[in-house]
Structure 1
Amino acid sequence: MKKILLLALVTLINIDLSLAQDKINWLTFEEAASMTKSNPKMILVDVYTDWCGWCKKMDKETFTDPKVIDYINSNFYAVKMNAEDTQRTFEFKGKEYTESTMAKAMRVSSYPNFVIMDAAMENITQMPGYRQADPFLKGLDNLMDKFGKK
Structure 2
Amino acid sequence: FHNKDVVSYVNKNYYAVKFNAEGTEEIKYNDFTYTNPNYNPDRKGRNSQHFFANALKITGYPSMVFFDEKGNLIAPVVGYKTPQQLEIYLKMINNNDYKRLTSADAWQKYEQSFVSTFEN
The alignment's TM-score, normalised by the length of structure 2, stands at 0.62
SS at match of 2:6: helix
- Higher Cα Rg: structure 1 or 2? 2
Alignment of 1:120-135 (within 5 A): 120-135=70-85
Q: What displacement does 1:126 show?
A: 1.8
SS of the residue corresponding to residue 78 of structure 1 reads coil
Structural RMSD (CA): 1.9
For 1:124 and 1:89, locate their aligned partners in 2 and report how far apart those are by CA, in whole Å.
Answer: 22
Distance in 2 between residues matched to 1:126 and 1:103, nearest whole Å: 10
SS of match in other structure, 2:80? coil
More strand by share: 1
**How high is the TM-score relative to the length of structure 1?**
0.51
1:97 aligns with 2:34: yes
Identity of aligned residues (%): 27
Deviation of 1:89 after TM superposition, in Å, equals 1.2
Candidates 46, 53, 63, aligned match of 1:113: 63
| Aligned partner of residue 82 in structure 1, secondary structure | coil
Q: Could you say which structure has the greater relative contact order, defined with CA pairs below 8 angstroms and 6 or more residues apart?
A: 1
- How many residue pairs match? The answer is 85
Say if 2:66 and 2:74, in contact at 8 Å, map to a contact too: yes
The separation in 2 between residues aligned to 1:76 and 1:123, in whole angstroms, is 14
Counterpart secondary structure, 2:16: strand
